């Protein structure tokens, strides 16, 4: 039996992030291939090769080819237990991704070799910098014509504001792409493009004739020059610098063709951090503590379309989680037992008996959980850093089928609990207002209401600039403000006061006129 120390030491919990279309879901799938979780890439349960990736399971994701929610997958690899969180790359779902980054110990960023650093990557990297999360960069699509690798490394340093150190090096690119030289293990990996199976490697000494025989004299000479330049320009790779989030190791490859994925994985399991201490209000929680603590960072409704159930994703921060043991739900102040906690392999999930720090478990939820909730063995504890951002787009949601009023109410309730968007109820006319960070979320909500709850909604435009949470120590002033701004006041699902400003000017005026009121643009204050 392993002790808790060893269990923590062998865990690697990380998220894969990127701009849409950089190949994140493909990379996730190839890692699962090496982890023996799927035998053939693109294969789902039936073992027939389907065109959809394993990790995108929601119906709308299959239709649009984008990842809408974060999937969690776990597998064992060479004695390590790996937990991958695949995040939506599309910016309309950035909030889901920001929250996911609070539940991981490190990050792999996927960059398209032709496009370099794109907006979404920049934004997500700023969240990693804020939290000092170690990152590894995977430059994908080397089998297509792209930018010069040295040029790309410069751009990564400038745009992501972090030092980089290549640990593998591409041998040409596009149609002439021959594979990668693995600097970390000092081996040459030659590949034949094959989307389905993992191909063999060839081990060759970099200075031998065998290199010329394998890749041709011209490319061999260029590779030797490139590697000399790499050693000259970049300082020796230091694992501690990576763990301190000062340097990002870089790997090159083509996820679709299984190039360079195993190099990434082999190096990753060796150097990536095991679960780290987590900051709670009032103290730091260390993974080695004997008592269980964890927090809910995501809630998903209807993972299984046949069962109308929600699953709350809980990140374990310390101690050992045991099935059926009583744990304290801090916000509700009551004890709960979980008879069927699960772990995930994309859509397949299995009931588990126990779990350790770094693991992500699914807890069946009948409406008890909200994002940010804490579970403990009795301690009153709250973890920090699971914000809801102030939405930027607003629409009134109306019932399009009076016969389905109940279904609509239930659907809205569950989807809002998931954190898909935010719901405000206007105090003036009682209408429900949905706020999101992007247009696509309205489509997703409408689609899911119809397909999962059998309810139809229609949207009515409303012109608003921002929703801000307000509070004040001066009760009289707060009441006066709410009276004066009556038609612009709403409540969020927590019942907190929200001011719906219809323009920047109106908001500034309100801030000037009511000095003792604090206006907040995230729900965490």
**Upper half-sphere CA count for residue 211 (Cβ side, 13 Å):** 19
Tell me, what's the pLDDT at 102?
81
pLDDT: which is higher, 433 or 73: 433
Asked if residue 206 and residue 312 are part of one domain, the reply reads no
Q: What angle do CA 230, 235, 236 make, to 5 degrees?
A: 95
pLDDT at 49: 34
> Higher model confidence: residue 187 or residue 497?
497
Q: Which two tokens stand for residue 398?
A: 């109306």
Out of 147-156, 170-179, 190-199, which region has the weakest mean confidence (pLDDT)?
A: 190-199
With CA atoms as reference, report the closest residue to 35 among 45, 46, 27, 23: 27
17, 137: one domain: yes
Q: In terms of domains, do 150 and 65 share one? A: yes
Rounded Cα gap, residues 176 and 174, in angstroms: 5
Judge whether 251 and 265 are in contact, CB under 8 Å.
no
Position 137 scores a pLDDT of 93
Flag whether pLDDT at 493 surpasses 50: yes
SS3 66: coil
Query: Burial letters for 424-458: b for 16+ Cβ neighbours within 10 Å, e otherwise?
Result: bbbbeeeebbbbbbbebbbebbbbbbbebbebbbe
Does 387 reside within a domain?
no
The CATH number given to whatever domain includes residue 514 is 3.30.70.3280
Average pLDDT value for residue range 477-498: 89
Looking at the fold, whether 91 and 175 belong to one and the same domain comes out as yes
Query: H or E stretch including 314?
Result: strand 310-318
Cβ pair 356, 320 in contact under 8 A: yes
| 287 lies in the same domain as 406 | no
Highest-scoring range by mean pLDDT, 52-56, 216-220, 507-511: 507-511
The DSSP letter of residue 235 is: P
If pLDDT is split at 50, 70 and 90, which confidence band does 306 have? low
How far is it, in rounded angstroms, from Cα 31 to Cα 255? 9
Q: Which of 27-41, 69-83, 111-125 has the lowest mean pLDDT?
A: 27-41
Mean pLDDT of 353-371: 86
Q: Region 346-355: what's the mean pLDDT?
A: 72
CA distance 61 to 444: 9
Q: What span, in angstroms and rounded, lies between the C-alpha atoms of 320 and 354? A: 7
The mean pLDDT of 74-101, rounded to a whole number, is 73
At 199, the pLDDT band (50, 70, 90 cuts) reads: low
473-501: average pLDDT: 89
Asked whether residue 387 carries a pLDDT value surpassing 80, the answer given is no
**Angle 24-34/261-271 helices, nearest 10 degrees?**
80
pLDDT of 195 above 70: no
Identify the domain boundary among 271, 303, 322.
Answer: 271
Give burial (CB, 10 Å; 0-12/13-18/19+) of 290.
exposed
Regarding whether 127 and 25 lie in a shared domain, the answer is yes
Q: Is the pLDDT of residue 397 over 70?
A: yes
Do residue 213 and residue 302 come from a single domain? Answer: no
- The domain of 319 spans 278-376
- The pTM of this model reads 0.72
- The CATH number for 348's domain is 3.40.50.300
What pLDDT is stored for residue 453 in this prediction? 86
Q: Are residues 80 and 216 in the same domain?
A: yes
Quick one: 226 and 95 in the same domain? Answer: yes
The pLDDT score that the predictor gives to residue 205 is 66
pLDDT at residue number 47 = 32
Please report whether residue 383 resides in a domain. no
Which residues of 432-509 form beta strands (DSSP E)?
432-436, 457-461, 466-472, 489-491, 497-501
Q: Tell me whether residue 230 is in a domain.
A: yes
Contact 14, 55 (CB under 8 A): no
Torsion of CA 357, 360, 366, 372, to 10 degrees: 70
Give the chain's mean pLDDT: 80
* pLDDT of 287 over the 90 cut: yes
Last residue in a domain, options 250, 271, 292: 271
User: Is-contact 320 327, C-beta < 8 A?
Assistant: no
Q: How far apart are CA 93 and CA 71, in angstroms?
A: 13
Q: What is the pLDDT of residue 48?
A: 33
219 against 2, higher pLDDT:
219
**Residue 312 counted as domain residue:** yes
What pLDDT score does 310 carry?
74
Identify the bridge partners of residue 518 per DSSP, sorted by sequence position: 471
- For residues 453 and 494, membership in a common domain is answered with yes
Q: Which residues contact 256 (CB under 8 A, 6 or more apart)?
A: 23, 26, 141, 143, 195
In a domain, 235, yes or no: yes
Q: Looking at the structure, tell me whether residues 262 and 301 fall in a common domain.
A: no
> pLDDT grade, residue 55 (50/70/90)?
low
For residue range 248-286, list pLDDT tens digits in order. 999 998 888 778 888 889 889 999 999 998 888 888 899
Under the banding of pLDDT at 50, 70 and 90, the label for residue 395 is very high
Provide the pLDDT for residue 66.
43
Asked whether residue 384 is domain-assigned, the answer is no
Percent of the chain with pLDDT over 90: 23
Predicted pLDDT at 74: 82
**What is the number of domains present in the chain?**
3
In a domain, 525, yes or no: no
Type and span of the H or E element at 475? helix 475-484
Strand intervals (E) in 118-162: 135-140
Q: What is the pLDDT of residues 107-146, one digit of tens each?
A: 999 998 888 888 778 877 887 887 789 999 999 888 888 8
pLDDT at position 524: 60
| pLDDT the model gives residue 101 | 81
Domain end residue (candidates: 376, 407, 438) = 376
* 184 and 247 belong to one structural domain: yes
pLDDT exceeds cutoff 60 at 408: yes
Is residue 240 predicted with pLDDT exceeding 90? yes
Is residue 125 assigned to a domain? yes
Please give the share of the chain, as a percent, with pLDDT higher than 70: 82
């Amino acid at each position: 039996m392993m002790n808790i120390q060893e269990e923590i030491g062998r865990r690697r919990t990380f998220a894969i992030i990127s701009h849409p279309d950089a190949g994140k879901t493909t990379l996730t799938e190839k890692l699962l291939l090496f982890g023996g979780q799927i035998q053939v890439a693109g294969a789902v349960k039936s073992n027939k090769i389907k065109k959809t990736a394993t990790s995108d399971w929601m119906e709308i994701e299959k239709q649009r080819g984008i990842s809408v929610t974060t999937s969690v997958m776990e597998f064992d690899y060479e004695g390590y237990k790996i937990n991958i969180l695949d995040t939506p790359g599309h910016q309309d779902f950035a909030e889901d991704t920001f929250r996911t980054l609070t539940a991981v110990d490190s990050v792999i960023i996927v960059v398209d070799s032709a496009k370099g650093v794109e907006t979404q990557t920049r934004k997500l990297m700023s969240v990693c910098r804020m939290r000092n999360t170690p990152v590894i960069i995977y430059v994908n699509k080397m089998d297509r014509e792209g930018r010069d690798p040295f040029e790309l490394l410069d751009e990564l340093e400038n745009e992501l504001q972090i030092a980089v150190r290549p640990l593998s090096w591409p041998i040409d690119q596009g149609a002439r792409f021959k594979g990668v030289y693995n600097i970390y293990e000092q081996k040459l990996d030659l590949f034949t493009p094959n989307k389905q199976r993992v191909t063999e490697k060839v081990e060759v000494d970099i200075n031998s004739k065998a290199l010329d025989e394998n890749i041709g004299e011209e490319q061999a000479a260029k590779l030797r020059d490139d590697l000399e330049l790499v050693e000259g320009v970049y300082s020796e790779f230091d694992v501690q610098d990576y763990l301190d989030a000062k340097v990002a190791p870089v790997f090159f490859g083509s996820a679709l063709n299984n190039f360079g994925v195993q190099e990434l994985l082999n190096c990753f399991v060796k150097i990536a951090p095991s679960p780290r201490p987590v900051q709670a209000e009032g103290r730091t929680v260390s993974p080695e503590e004997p008592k269980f603590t964890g927090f809910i960072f995501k809630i998903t409704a209807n993972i299984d379309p046949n069962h109308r159930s929600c699953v709350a994703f809980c990140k374990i921060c310390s101690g050992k989680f045991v099935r059926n043991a009583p744990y304290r739900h801090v916000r509700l102040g009551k004890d709960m037992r979980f008879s069927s906690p699960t772990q995930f392999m994309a859509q397949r999930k299995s009931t588990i008996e126990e779990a350790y720090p770094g693991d992500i478990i699914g807890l069946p939820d009948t409406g008890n959980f909200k994002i940010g909730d804490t579970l403990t063995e009795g301690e009153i504890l709250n973890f920090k850093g699971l914000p809801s951002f102030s939405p930027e787009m607003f629409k009134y949601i109306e019932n399009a089928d009076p016969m389905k009023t109940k279904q609509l109410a239930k659907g809205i309730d569950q989807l809002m609990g998931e954190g898909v968007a935010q719901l405000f109820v206007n105090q003036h006319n009682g209408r429900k207002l949905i706020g999101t960070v992007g247009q696509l979320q309205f489509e997703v909500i409408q689609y899911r209401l119809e397909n999962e709850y059998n309810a139809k909604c229609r949207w009515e435009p409303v012109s608003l600039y921002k929703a801000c949470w307000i509070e004040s120590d001066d009760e009289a002033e707060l009441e006066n403000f709410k009276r004066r701004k009556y038609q612009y006041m709403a409540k969020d699902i927590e019942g907190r006061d929200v001011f719906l400003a219809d323009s920047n000017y109106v908001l500034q005026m309100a801030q000037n006129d009511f000095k003792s009121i604090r206006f907040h643009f995230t729900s965490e204050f």
